[in-house]
Structure 1
């Protein structure tokens, strides 16, 4: 099981259990825009997606 979060040059998002949830809340840190009608996420320039497995989270 993996965890997902978005990182901008100035802020770091929270870890979420699935990618769709991370995309929905990415605009809270200014990482991008989520269109709820189409379900598409557009990341702003400089935004990175970080993925961590359970072994990395346990460290």
Structure 2
């Protein structure tokens, strides 16, 4: 299972299990916002998405 969070040059967001949740709460750290009209995420300059995935075992 992957986890997602947004990072700005000065702050890092919480880890979320779903990308849509990470996008919804990105405004808390000033990483971006969800556009109400289009429903698309708008990231501010310098914002990066960090993804942490679980390692698969044989």
- TM-score by length of structure 1 reads 0.85
Larger radius of gyration: 2
Alpha-carbon distance, 1:37 to partner? 4.4
Alpha-carbon separation, structure 2, partners of 1:2 and 1:33: 22
Aligned length: 55
Segments of 5+ residues of structure 2 without an aligned counterpart are none
SS in structure 1 opposite 2:50?
Answer: strand
SS in structure 2 opposite 1:42?
Answer: strand
Task: Name whichever structure is richer in helix by fraction.
Answer: 1
The runs of 4+ residues in structure 1 deviating greater than 3 Å are: none
Segments of 5+ residues of structure 1 without an aligned counterpart are none
